[in-house]
């Protein structure tokens, strides 16, 4: 029973340190989700004809990824739902649920792969900052995985 007292390896700062790491990951995810939500809503509500961008245009570019104007409302809806899912998964992660961490990791990995594909095929610069942001958040979610 004495070993139960030292579940964090005997380091009294392990819990608070881990919770701070998860908090930083959560803030990164909340900020990214807010940006994603704004982009999603603009695409969902404002791009019907392409004139929203000042002149008719066949496509818009999101981090090096082309989105056809005709598909923009659908992409906007998907991004909006994704942003809300990321918030829910982040809340679960902050509460110590492994499912939230796994969900964030799976979504993060898929998005990073898509962004890196865009970096190789269409735009060598634009996809890299969001890919790095997401990678950092995923790394921190796992670095702070201890329950607090």
Task: Please write the tens of the pLDDT for every residue from 103-129.
Answer: 999 999 999 999 999 999 998 899 999
82: three-class secondary structure by DSSP: helix
Return the pLDDT at 9. Answer: 46
The Cα–Cα gap between 28 and 140 comes to 10
Task: Read off the pTM.
Answer: 0.80
Residue 55 token pair: 């002149």
Q: Could you report the per-residue pLDDT of 64-89, keeping only the tens digit for each? A: 898 888 888 999 999 999 999 999 99
For residue range 11-53, what is the model confidence (pLDDT) as tens digits? 444 556 668 999 999 999 999 999 999 999 988 887 655 566 5
Longest dimension (CA), the chain: 71
For residue 45, the SS3 value is: helix
What is the predicted pLDDT for the residue at 81?
97
């Amino acid at each position: 029973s004495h070993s139960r007292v030292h579940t964090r390896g005997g380091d009294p700062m392990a819990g608070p340190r881990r919770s701070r790491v998860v908090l930083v990951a959560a803030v990164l995810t909340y900020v990214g989700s807010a940006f994603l939500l704004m982009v999603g809503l603009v695409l969902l509500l404002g791009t019907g004809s392409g004139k929203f961008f000042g002149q008719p245009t066949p496509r818009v570019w999101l981090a090096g990824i082309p989105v056809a104007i005709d598909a923009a409302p659908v992409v906007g809806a998907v991004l909006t739902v994704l942003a809300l899912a990321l918030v829910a998964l982040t809340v679960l992660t902050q509460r110590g649920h492994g499912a939230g961490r796994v969900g964030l990791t799976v979504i993060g990995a898929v998005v990073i792969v898509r962004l890196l594909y865009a970096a190789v095929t269409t735009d060598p610069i634009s996809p890299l900052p969001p890919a790095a942001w997401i990678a950092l958040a995923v790394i921190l979610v796992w670095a702070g995985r201890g329950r607090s």
